[in-house]
Amino acid sequence: MSGFRHGQGRLGDATLHFSFDGKPMLGRAGDTVASALLANGVEVVGRSFKYHRPRGVTSSGPEETGALVTIGAGGKADPNARATMEPLTQGLEVFSQNCFPSPKFDLMSINGLAGAVLPGSLFSAGFYYKTFMWPAALWYKFYEPSIRAAAGMGTPPKVADPDIYDRIQSFCDLAVVGGGCAGLAAALSAAQSGLRVVMFDEHNDLGGQLLNEVNNQANADLEQWRVNTIAALYAAGNVKVLTRTVCWGRFDGNTLAAHQSVDGKVRQNYHKVQAKKIIIAAGAIERPLVFGNNDKPNVMLASGARRMLNHYGIATGKMLAVFTNNDSAYQTAFDYIDAGIKVSALVDSRQYPSQELLDGCASRGISVHTQAVVTQAKGWQAVRSIEIADLAANGERVSNRRRVECDVLAHSGGWTPQVQMASHGGKPPIYDKKIAAFIVDDQAPDTYSVGAAEGENGLLVCVAQGVEAAKAACALLGKEAGPVALPPQERAGATNIVPLWSVPAKGKQWVDIQHDVTAADVVQSHQEGFVSVEHLKRYTTLGMANDQGRTSNVNALAIMAKCRGISIAQAGTTRFRAPIAPVSMGGFGGREVGQYFKPVRRTPMQEWHENAGAVFVQAGMYMRPQYYPQAGETIDDAYERETAHVRQKVGICDVTSLGKIEIVGPDAAEFLDRVYINMFSTLKVGKARYGVMLREDGIVYDDGTTSRFADDRFFMTTTTAKAGPVMAYLERCLEIDWPELKVRVSSVSERWGAMAVAGPNARATLTAAFPSVDFSNEAFPFMGVVHAEHNGAKMVLLRISFSGEMAFEVYAESEHATDIWQTIIDAGKAYDIVPYGLETLGALRIEKGHVTGAELDGRVTLGDVHMDGMASKKKWFVGKNLKDREGMVHPDRPQLVGLKSVDPRTPISTGSILVNDANASAGADKQGWVSSMTYSPELGSFIALGFLRGGKERIGQRIYAAYPVKGITVEVEVVSNHFVDPTNERVKG
C-alpha cells in the first residue's frame, strides 16, 4: 500500500461502504472512486490496454489515464469509467479491467515483456496494419483471437441496460462551459443581467483548480470566495447549474451537447442546449512528462496528487518526489511537506527555477535537483524509487545517475488548455510558445474563450477575463452584467515552463498511457514515413482511447516535430471532434428504446386482427396482418390457403396503410394532369382511374388509383411506402412550381380505414352487407365509385382490383371501420369469406402481374414495366421531357416479365440474378434480376416477377435465376407477367 487517509480535506464524515473486485472497502461521502481506492491503499487498479501493464490512479480529474474501472454489475455495468470522475456511493460495486485473474497478478502482462524482447512486438506502432499483411489463414487462427483476448478495456454488459435515460432540450441566453474560477465569475456576473444562464461542470464539486488549494485557516478567505460565489449562483433564479455534466460538443447555431449524470430513477440526462452566447471556461489540464516507466502506479500528475491531499484528504504516499519542467508542481511539494509528509526530492529539468521557489524549498528542507531529470520510475509494480540524472545543457543526454527513495512521484510537464470546445467552432488550434501548448483564438461575437482554456494561469486574471466576457456577451444581448468581487488572494501566474518533451534515456516512455503508445512508437511511425499529424495518430492509435488525447497530444506532436526537424507550430495539430469525453449511448437514445424506438401505426381494425389470431408484420411504420394461421398451419400453409380461397370464394384484406390524399379546387383536374402521365381531366365524376407518376428525370415515381368525387374534388391513393413523400411532393408542386393553380391537397390517410373485398363472391358478400347499394355491373361497373352510408358511417366504395379478381375497396370513416369490417365478415359468412394478410395480398398481385415497390424501385422507366402506352401525348406532365432519352428507351433495358420455376416446387429467391448460362459467373452474364416471388396455388408452381433483357420477346425461353451468395441456381421459364386472367375478364365480371 502507498496511499492512505490523511486528513479531512473538504469531505464530510459519513462513511460509505463499497467493494473493489468483491473486496469490501470503506470510503467517505464526497470521495470519488479513485480517492476511495487510494484511501484503501490500492495501487494497482487495472491493467493497460495492450501490454497489460499495471496501472493506478494518475490524476484527480477527467485527464485520468490509469484508473479505468467498471462501475456496477449486470445491466447497470458501466465499463471504462474514469475512477476520478465517479462519485462514491453507498454499496457501489467497482471492478478492475483487462486483467486475469487479478490486477496485481495478471497472466497477460507477458505482452509487455514480449514487446521488449521481440523485434517489432505484437502491438508496436502500426500493428493494426502490419498484422493484416500476414497470411490470412494465420490471422483468423491465431492473431485475431489472441489480440482479442489480450487487448481491450472493460467488457460491455451482455444484458439490456435497465436504467432510464432522458433527453432534455433547453434554451438559454448564455452558456458557461466550466465551473472553475473563470466560469464561476462569468456566470455570477451574467446572472446579474437577468438573462438566462446555464453553467456546466463535469465535476461533482465546483471551483476547478481552487479545489487543489489546501483548506486551512490561511486560505479561509479564498475558500469563502469559492463557496459564496457558488451559493450566489444557486440562489439566482435565472441560473441553472449543472454539475457532473460533461459538455462534450459544440455544434452549428451555438448548440451545446452535454451528458449529465444524476442519481435517481433516471441515470443520465442528455442536454441539448441552444445558447445565444457561449463562454468557454474549460480550464487546462496538466500533462505528463515522458520518462521511463512513467505509467507505473503511484506516478501521478502533480496537480492530481495535490487535490487528493487538499480536497479528499488522501496522502498519495508516505514519501513524495516531484519532477517538473515548470513552476506549478512546487506547490504540491510544499503542501505535502507542510502536511507532514516527507518529500525526498524535487527534480527540475530547468537550469534556473525562480529564487522564490528555491527559497520555499530551502525553508522546508526539500532537496532540489536543477537541470536534472527522472530517467525512470522503479518498483515491481508500483513506484518504490526513482532514478534521476543530470541533464546536459543541450538536453540530449544525461549523466550522474542516482537513486532517490519515494513511493509516489508527482510530475508536471506543463498545462494544456482545454481547447476542444473552442476548436469545434472550426478554428484551428495554434501553438503558443509561452505556455508550450495550443490555444484557439475564438473570441466574440458568439463565443468567448477565457481563463486557463485560453492559456492564462493567474487566478485573478482568469476571474477578470470571465467577468469581462460575461459583460461583453450580455451587452450584445442588450443587458448589463454585474460586478464580481475579486478573490482575496492571488494564485500562481506564469508557470515559466521550459519544455522537456522526452527524457533522453532508455526505457519504456509512455506518451499515450491509456492507449499504450510509447515515445518509441512515435519515432518509429516517423521512420516508417508518416509525416502528418493525422497519419501519426492513425498509425500509432495515439489519442484514440477514451481521454481522446487530452494528455498525450502535445507531447506526441512535439516528439514528432523533433524527428522531422520542424517546430511544433509547423507540425500543427489535428482539430478536435465531438465528443470530447466518453458519453453513454443511452443518453442519445433517451426514452426512444425498445418498442419506443420508432412510432408504430396501427389500423382501426388492429384489435379485430389480433382476436382473429393474425400474425403481424411491420410494413413501413404500420403493423399489418401478415397471415391468419389456422391450427397447425405454417406461414406457407396459411398464405397458400388464403390465396386459393380468394380466387375460389372471397376474402377481405386490411389496406388502410395506403396513402390517401384529397385534392380539391377548381384546378384540381389540371393539377392531376400535370403530375400523372395519363389524363385525369377527362375522368368522369363517380369513376376511378389508375395513374402513374414520373420523377422529373423520367423514372417511375409512384402509382395508385385516383377517383373523382366531384368536378373539383379528387381522392388519390398512393403506395404505402410513398404516402409521405408523395404528399410532400404535391405540396411542393403547388407552392413552388405552380402557385397559380387553385388547388389544395390534404392528407386523409388517417381519416379512412380501408379494406379490399376480393373474389368471385365479393359482389354477393357486399350486397348482403350493404343492401342499400346496388352492386350490379350496370350500376357499379369496374372502376366505378359509389358513396354510401351504413349505420351512420360514411363509406366510399371503389370497384378496383389489385388481385385480379372481382374486387371492391371499401373506405370507411376510421372510427366506424371495424364495424364496417365486421358487417362484411358477418354478411360474408354465407359466402365463405376469410380474412387474408399481406402475404396473400402479395401472392395475388404477383399472379396478376401488378407492380409494386419491389418493381418500382427508382430505376425503372415506363417502358420497363410496359406502361409507355399510358403516357398521354396530348398534354405535358412531370417527367415527359426526359423520359424518352436514349438510355431510357434503349431496347437492351431489362423489362418486366413473369418467371416460372421449371421444377414447380423449387422457389425462386427474390434478388436472384437472371443468367443465360447456369455455369457462367453472374457478373459476366447478367440478363436481369428477380424482384418478387411467391408460390401460386392457381398455377401450382413457384412464380416470380423480374426484369429481363429482351423482355417479352423471350417468353418461352428457359434461363436461370442465380443466387451466388447462397449458391442457389434455379432453372426458370420466361412467361408473361400476367399469370392469371390476362384478359381482365374476372375483374369486369
Partner 1 sequence: MLRINCPYCGEREHSEFTYGEDATRTTPDNDAPMEQWNTFVYERINPAGEHLEYWHHAFGCRAWLKVQRNTLTHDISWVGLPHENPQVQS
- Distance (Å, whole) CA 43 – CA 931: 64
- Is 583 or 817 the residue whose CB approaches partner 1 more closely? 583
- Is 256 or 419 the residue whose CB approaches partner 1 more closely? 256
User: Nearest approach, Cβ of 607 to partner 1 (angstroms)?
Assistant: 29
User: Nearest approach, Cβ of 746 to partner 1 (angstroms)?
Assistant: 10
Rounded to an integer, what is the distance from CA 932 to the centroid of its chain? 34
- Is 171 or 352 the residue whose CB approaches partner 1 more closely? 171
- Is 426 or 781 the residue whose CB approaches partner 1 more closely? 426
User: Nearest approach, Cβ of 655 to partner 1 (angstroms)?
Assistant: 25
User: Nearest approach, Cβ of 170 to partner 1 (angstroms)?
Assistant: 12
DSSP class of residue 483?
Answer: -
- On whether the CB atoms of residues 264 and 165 are closer than 8 A, the answer is no
Bond preceding residue 760 cis, omega within 30 of 0 = no
Exposure class string for 570-602: b at 16+ Cβ within 10 A, else e:
ebbbbbbebbbbbbbebbebbeeeeeeeeeebe
User: Nearest approach, Cβ of 429 to partner 1 (angstroms)?
Assistant: 19
Helical pair 838-848 and 635-648, crossing angle rounded to 10 deg: 60
- Is 880 or 978 the residue whose CB approaches partner 1 more closely? 880
User: Nearest approach, Cβ of 876 to partner 1 (angstroms)?
Assistant: 4
Over its C-alpha atoms, the chain yields an Rg (Å, rounded) of: 37
- Is 76 or 272 the residue whose CB approaches partner 1 more closely? 272
- Is 252 or 396 the residue whose CB approaches partner 1 more closely? 252
User: Nearest approach, Cβ of 591 to partner 1 (angstroms)?
Assistant: 17
User: Nearest approach, Cβ of 251 to partner 1 (angstroms)?
Assistant: 6
- Is 274 or 921 the residue whose CB approaches partner 1 more closely? 274
User: Nearest approach, Cβ of 754 to partner 1 (angstroms)?
Assistant: 23
- Is 737 or 903 the residue whose CB approaches partner 1 more closely? 737
- On whether the CB atoms of residues 42 and 36 are closer than 8 A, the answer is no
- Is 391 or 733 the residue whose CB approaches partner 1 more closely? 733
User: Nearest approach, Cβ of 696 to partner 1 (angstroms)?
Assistant: 5
Dihedral over Cα of 375, 379, 382, 383: its sign: negative
User: Nearest approach, Cβ of 737 to partner 1 (angstroms)?
Assistant: 6
- Is 178 or 698 the residue whose CB approaches partner 1 more closely? 698
φ, ψ dihedrals at 957, nearest 5°: -75, 155
User: Nearest approach, Cβ of 179 to partner 1 (angstroms)?
Assistant: 24
- Distance (Å, whole) CA 324 – CA 297: 18
Question: For 831-887, where are the E strands, in sequence order?
Answer: 833-835
Dihedral over Cα of 199, 202, 205, 207: its sign: negative
CA atoms within 13 A on the CB side of 309: 28
- The residue count of the chain comes to 989
User: Nearest approach, Cβ of 749 to partner 1 (angstroms)?
Assistant: 14
Q: Cell triple for residue 774?
A: 346496388
- Distance (Å, whole) CA 927 – CA 914: 5
- Distance (Å, whole) CA 174 – CA 363: 47
Q: Cell triple for residue 9?
A: 480535506
Question: For 546-683, where are the E strands, in sequence order?
Answer: 601-602, 615-619, 622-627, 650-654, 659-664
- Distance (Å, whole) CA 247 – CA 275: 13
- Distance (Å, whole) CA 436 – CA 287: 11
User: Nearest approach, Cβ of 175 to partner 1 (angstroms)?
Assistant: 14
Rounded to an integer, what is the distance from CA 607 to the centroid of its chain? 36
Q: What angle do CA 431, 433, 434 make, to 5 degrees?
A: 125
- Is 76 or 880 the residue whose CB approaches partner 1 more closely? 880
Q: Which H helix or E strand runs over 692?
A: strand 688-694
- Is 22 or 253 the residue whose CB approaches partner 1 more closely? 253
User: Nearest approach, Cβ of 664 to partner 1 (angstroms)?
Assistant: 16
User: Nearest approach, Cβ of 700 to partner 1 (angstroms)?
Assistant: 15
Q: Of 42, 6, 14, nearest to 30 (Cα)?
A: 14
User: Nearest approach, Cβ of 255 to partner 1 (angstroms)?
Assistant: 5
CA atoms within 13 A on the CB side of 234: 9
What's the burial of 792, exposed, middle or buried (CB within 10 Å: 0-12/13-18/19+)? exposed
- The residue with cell 484551428 is 428
Looking at 385-495, list the stretches that DSSP marks H as alpha helix, in order from N- to C-terminal side: 420-423, 459-476
What residues contact residue 90 under an 8 Å CB cut-off, 6+ apart?
16, 17, 18
Q: Of 938, 925, 924, 929, nearest to 910 (Cα)?
A: 929
For 469-531, the three-class secondary structure string (H helix, E strand, C coil) is HHHHHHHHCCCCCCCCCCCCCCCCCCCCCCCCCCCCCCCCEEEECCCCEEHHHHHHHHHCCCC
- Is 135 or 426 the residue whose CB approaches partner 1 more closely? 426
- Is 287 or 660 the residue whose CB approaches partner 1 more closely? 660
- Distance (Å, whole) CA 170 – CA 275: 9
- Distance (Å, whole) CA 689 – CA 683: 7
- Is 220 or 476 the residue whose CB approaches partner 1 more closely? 476
Q: Cell triple for residue 900?
A: 416460372
User: Nearest approach, Cβ of 191 to partner 1 (angstroms)?
Assistant: 25
- Distance (Å, whole) CA 736 – CA 897: 39
Q: Of 46, 51, 85, nearest to 67 (Cα)?
A: 46
Calculate the dihedral angle through the C-alpha atoms of 529, 533, 539, 542, rounding to the nearest 10 degrees: 140
- Is 273 or 473 the residue whose CB approaches partner 1 more closely? 273
- Distance (Å, whole) CA 904 – CA 135: 46
Site residues (CB under 8 A) for partner 1?
Answer: 169, 251-253, 255, 272, 274, 426, 696-697, 728, 731-732, 735-737, 739, 876, 880-882, 884-885
